[in-house]
Amino acid sequence: GAVVSQHPSWVICKSGTSVKIECRSLDFQATTMFWYRQFPKQSLMLMATSNEGSKATYEQGVEKDKFLINHASLTLSTLTVTSAHPEDSSFYICSASGGGAEKLFFGSGTQLSVL
């Protein structure tokens, strides 16, 4: 089946630093990628929809200047958490669409801990 690679799997950083998370579709071209955040025992909350070659569409309440998304190619999207703070600690998951919600493939997730 289709594979979406997400890196790193976990990261610990100091407050104020920036963290970049990569999401790659390994065997298909993903015109659309999605970034989710999940707090413990909570649902996946969509942060933004990333379209190749255009600006990301952010969900209400998500700061676009804090969570920078770049989708420079059909196989790579990146999420940069700028000036991370402890409240940004969460599980970040990307997903890539191979065409429709039925063909939505998830990355393995990134656990971010900000000290």
Partner 1 sequence: QKEVEQNSGPLSVPEGAIASLNCTYSDRGSQSFFWYRQYSGKSPELIMSIYSNGDKEDGRFTAQLNKASQYVSLLIRDSQPSDSATYLCAVLNSGYSTLTFGKGTMLLVSP
Does residue 97 belong to the site contacting partner 1 (CB under 8 A)?
yes
Shortest Cβ 88–partner 1 spacing (Å): 18
90-97 and 76-81 as β-strands: parallel, antiparallel, unpaired? unpaired
Cβ contacts of 97-100, under 8 Å, gap ≥ 24:
97/30, 97/31, 97/32, 97/33, 97/34, 98/2, 98/25, 98/28, 98/30
Residues 48-67 within binding reach of partner 1 (CB under 8 A): 49
**Could you say which of 42, 73, 83, 113 contacts partner 1 (CB under 8 A)?**
42
Tell me which residues touch partner 1 (CB under 8 A). Answer: 6, 32, 34, 41-46, 49, 91, 93, 97, 100-102, 104, 106-109, 111
